[in-house]
Amino acid sequence: KAGVTQTPRYLIKTRGQQVTLSCSPISGHRSVSWYQQTPGQGLQFLFEYFSETQRNKGNFPGRFSGRQFSNSRSEMNVSTLELGDSALYLCASTDLGAEQYFGPGTRLTVT
């Protein structure tokens, strides 16, 4: 099976702009989770979607949002970008098991 794919891999945006990141899970996986990785805060959970519904949400401001489509693909959106949003954004998918499989990530740089 193909792994989790994320697009784009790299992105440079300016403060105040918005950005949309995309994630395609492993075929058959219905749950998609998003994580933010920064040097200062480490790996932090953003949200999880299952069957197009947000099931869990981490402690991030409302500028961070996401959605999931009927084919399980997911997008996350960050509006009004701030310098502190510069990070590696990781997507993970899972089936009924507890383990999550990660994509390569999208490196977002906000200038």
Partner 1 sequence: AQSVTQLGSHVSVSEGALVLLRCNYSSSVPPYLFWYVQYPNQGLQLLLKYTSAATLVKGINGFEAEFKKSETSFHLTKPSAHMSDAAEYFCAYNAGNMLTFGGGTRLMVKP
Residue 39, token pair as written in the block: 């040097």
Cα dihedral: 13, 88, 32, 70 (round 10): 20
Tell me the closest approach of the beta carbon of residue 66 to partner 1, in angstroms: 14
Count other Cβ atoms within 10 Å, centred on residue 81.
Answer: 19
* Cβ proximity to partner 1, 6 vs 74, nearer residue: 6
Give the interface with partner 1 as residue ranges (CB under 8 A): 4, 6, 31, 33, 35, 42-45, 48, 50, 55-56, 58, 90, 92, 94, 98-105, 107
* Cβ proximity to partner 1, 79 vs 86, nearer residue: 86
* Cβ proximity to partner 1, 14 vs 99, nearer residue: 99
**Contact call for residues 79 and 62 (beta carbons, < 8 A):** no
